[in-house]
Amino acid sequence: MKKFAFYLLGKKGYRCLNRFLEEYGGKAVAFVVLARDRGVKNDYFDEISSLCRQHAVNLYDRSENVPNNFDVSFAIGWRWLIPDSYRLIVFHDSLLPKYRGFAPLVNMLINGEKKIGVTALYASLSYDAGHIIERQSIQITYPLKISEAIDRVADLYELALLRIAGRIVSGEELQGTPQDKTEATFSLWRDESDYQINWESGADELKRFVDAVGYPYSGAKTQLHGKSIRILDVDIVKDVKVESRNAHIGKVIFMDNGCPTVICGTGLIKLLNVIDENGDSLIGRLPFRTRFGA
């Protein structure tokens, strides 16, 4: 029996392991390496751990040394370097060679890409530059929140994993296809400062941004009276002509049942879910004369 090892993180990692176990059972899993991810609301650490216990799968923390008793290993949702990259297949949240690097799905949604997907590739010295084994994609339309996008991509992850595992089990030698490096683009990591709203953006872009950094991430933020607040849900409102618009970007122009409509670089955005630093809702508590970002 072929033995597979897994380096797993997050919802996609959980779903892939669960689907693999349904198909092949726990005896096909050499071990699982797991880690905490403090950057999301739920890192699925507990769910993956429970799944391993149910199927008697050996579980390791990423700080521990792992055995070498496997045929192929998969890195799914993983964010750290893996020293033993021999026989390692990496799953990446984009259609490579576009969006190599970090947070590709978030950045794709912010940019308004019409297609999202997953690439399975051999590990390489340069990140996300290895030969491509499998690609799966779907067309999308907006608005689309990151939580829904993750679920859609997770479906593709499961499909790609089972296709690759099936080929390995059948004895097929996987032949990767080299990437066209002239087509490569790079997606950079994001930290807390990258959650800041730029009110000079257009309403369409701002809506995509808020949706792309929402749950399971911390959510878009802006400044109000010197304190950070989170804007978790917005809607696009039909624009009006604003005199001297550039001087009033970030100001509330209308108030509808406690929901402020804010002037953007182009267009208007209605704020539907706003919370303060304590997580308390600010809807209905914001004065009409409010300027965000100041």
Domains of the chain: 4-187 (3.40.50.170), 192-275 (3.10.25.10)
Instruction: Let me know how long the chain is.
Output: 294
Single-letter code of the amino acid located at 183: E
Question: What's the pLDDT at 41?
Answer: 87
Question: What's the pLDDT at 107?
Answer: 97
Question: What's the pLDDT at 294?
Answer: 62
Contacts of 104 (CB under 8 A, 6+ apart): 92, 93, 94, 187
CB atoms within 10 A of CB 90: 22
Full-model pTM: 0.93
Tokens of 84: 């033993």
Question: What's the pLDDT at 261?
Answer: 98
Query: Could you tell me where the beta strands, DSSP code E, fall in the chain?
Result: 4-8, 29-34, 59-61, 72-76, 88-92, 100-101, 115-122, 132-139, 186-187, 220-224, 227-237, 252-256, 259-263, 268-275
* pLDDT one digit per residue (tens) for the chain, 294 residues: 899 999 999 999 999 999 999 999 999 999 999 999 988 889 999 999 999 999 999 999 999 999 999 999 999 999 888 987 889 999 999 999 999 999 999 999 999 999 999 999 999 988 899 999 999 999 999 999 999 999 999 999 999 999 999 999 999 999 899 999 999 999 999 999 999 999 999 999 999 999 999 999 999 999 999 999 999 999 999 999 999 999 999 999 999 999 999 999 999 999 999 999 999 999 999 999 999 996
Question: What's the pLDDT at 116?
Answer: 98
